[in-house]
Structure 1
Amino acid sequence: MKKSSHLLVTVLALAMILAACKPGTSNFQGTVTATPKIIQSSVDQTPTTTKMPEINMDPKDLSGVQITYLHPWAGESGRIMNLLVDEFNQSNEWGINVLIEQPGSTSLAIQQLRSVEIGTVSLAVLPAYELVYQDQTLNEVVDLNPFAASSKVGFSKDERADFHPVFWNENLVDGKLYGIPAEASAALMFYNATWAEELGFASLPKTSTAFRLQTCAANAIFRKDTDRFNDGLGGWIISSDADTLFSWLSVFGAIKPVVPIEKFNIDSAKKTFEYLFNLQASSCAWSGRIPEPYDYFANRQALIYSGYSQDILLQSAAFMRSGIEDVWQVMAYPGGDDTAVLTRGLAYGIFKSDAKTELASWLFIRWLSQPVNQARMLQVTGALPLGEEVMAYMSSFEENYPQWKDSLSLLSNAKMITAQANLGIIRMVLGDAGTFLFKPEFTAEGIPDLLYQLDQTIKELANRTP
Structure 2
Amino acid sequence: MHPFYADSAAALASLTDEFNQTNVWGLHVKLQAPGSAGLMNQAAAEARQDGSLPQILAAESAQLAAWEAAQPTFADLNDYMQDPNWGLTAEERASFFPNFWEADSAADGTRQLALPALRTTRLMVYNQTWAEELGFAAPPANEKELELQLCAALQANLADADRANDGTGGWIVDNDPYTILTFLAAFGEDPAQMGGRAYSFNTASNRDAFAYLRGLFDRTCAWNSRQPEPQEYFSTRRTLLYTASLQDLPRQERIQTRLNPNDSWTVLPFPAVAADPLVIASGHSYAVSLAKPEEQLGAWLFIRWLSLPRHQARLAQTAAAWPVSQAALDLMQDYAASHPQWAAAAQWIPQARPAPRSGDWARTQFVLQDAAWQLFQANLTAEQIPDLLSQLDDTIPDVLQPTP
Please state if 1:346 is matched with 2:284. Answer: yes
Q: Which residues of 2 match residues 239-250 of structure 1 at below 5 A?
A: 239-250=174-185
1:363-414 deviations in Å (ceiling 9; x for gaps): 0000100111111111111111211211343222112101111212222421
Q: Which residue does 1:98 correspond to in 2? A: 29
Q: Which residue does 2:64 correspond to in 1? A: 131
Q: Which residues of 2 match residues 312-327 of structure 1 at below 5 A?
A: 312-327=249-264
Q: Structure 2 residue aligned with 1:220, among 138, 148, 155? A: 155
1:335-382 deviations in Å (ceiling 9; x for gaps): 156233211121000111111110110000001001111111111111
Q: Which residues of 2 match residues 316-395 of structure 1 at below 5 A?
A: 316-335=253-272, 338-395=276-333
Q: Is contact 1:350-1:358 (8 Å) kept?
A: yes
Q: Which residue does 2:386 correspond to in 1? A: 448
Offset of residue 272 of structure 1: 0.9
Give the 3 Å change call, closer, same or farther, for CA 413–395 of structure 1 in structure 2: closer
Please state if 1:75 is matched with 2:9. Answer: no
Q: Which residue does 2:100 correspond to in 1? A: 167
- Report the residue type matching 2:116 in the other structure: P
TM-score (norm: length of structure 1): 0.82
Q: Which residues of 2 match residues 17-32 of structure 1 at below 5 A?
A: none
Work out the CA distance in 1 between the residues paired with 2:283 and 2:111. 17
* Higher share of residues assigned helix: 2
Q: Is contact 1:77-1:380 (8 Å) kept?
A: yes
The unaligned stretches of length 5 or more in structure 2 are none
Aligned-residue Cα RMSD (Å) equals 1.5
- Report the residue type matching 1:315 in the other structure: Q
Work out the CA distance in 2 between the residues paired with 1:75 and 1:147. 32
- Report the residue type matching 2:261 in the other structure: I
Please state if 1:260 is matched with 2:260. Answer: no
Please state if 1:428 is matched with 2:366. Answer: yes
Q: Secondary structure at the match of 1:98?
A: coil
Work out the CA distance in 2 between the residues paired with 1:340 and 1:211. 14
Q: Is contact 1:235-1:285 (8 Å) kept?
A: yes
- Report the residue type matching 2:244 in the other structure: G
Give the 3 Å change call, closer, same or farther, for CA 403–238 of structure 1 in structure 2: same
Work out the CA distance in 1 between the residues paired with 2:186 and 2:69. 32
Work out the CA distance in 2 between the residues paired with 1:256 and 1:138. 27
Please state if 1:203 is matched with 2:134. Answer: no
Q: Structure 2 residue aligned with 1:287, among 221, 224, 242? A: 224
Q: Structure 1 residue aligned with 2:114, among 175, 179, 190? A: 179
Offset of residue 257 of structure 1: 2.8
Work out the CA distance in 2 between the residues paired with 1:413 and 1:352. 34
Offset of residue 442 of structure 1: 2.3
Offset of residue 310 of structure 1: 2.0
- Report the residue type matching 1:126 in the other structure: A
Q: Which residue does 1:121 correspond to in 2? A: 54
TM-score (norm: length of structure 2): 0.94
Q: Is contact 2:104-2:112 (8 Å) kept?
A: yes
Please state if 1:110 is matched with 2:62. Answer: no
Offset of residue 226 of structure 1: 4.4
1:100-146 deviations in Å (ceiling 9; x for gaps): 11011222211211122234311111111111111121452111111
Q: Secondary structure at the match of 2:191?
A: coil
- Report the residue type matching 2:37 in the other structure: T
- Report the residue type matching 2:141 in the other structure: K
Moved more, 312-321 or 147-156: 312-321
Q: Which residue does 2:19 correspond to in 1? A: 88
The unaligned stretches of length 5 or more in structure 1 are 1-69
Q: Is contact 2:172-2:224 (8 Å) kept?
A: yes
Q: Is contact 1:260-1:417 (8 Å) kept?
A: no
1:150-185 deviations in Å (ceiling 9; x for gaps): 111011111111111111111011321111011101
Work out the CA distance in 2 between the residues paired with 1:202 and 1:160. 42
Work out the CA distance in 1 between the residues paired with 2:193 and 2:5. 32
1:404-460 deviations in Å (ceiling 9; x for gaps): 112122224211123112111111110111111112222223212211111111111
Q: Secondary structure at the match of 2:348?
A: helix
Q: Structure 2 residue aligned with 1:299, among 211, 227, 236? A: 236
Q: Which residue does 1:49 correspond to in 2? A: none
Q: Secondary structure at the match of 1:187?
A: strand
Work out the CA distance in 2 between the residues paired with 1:317 and 1:436. 33
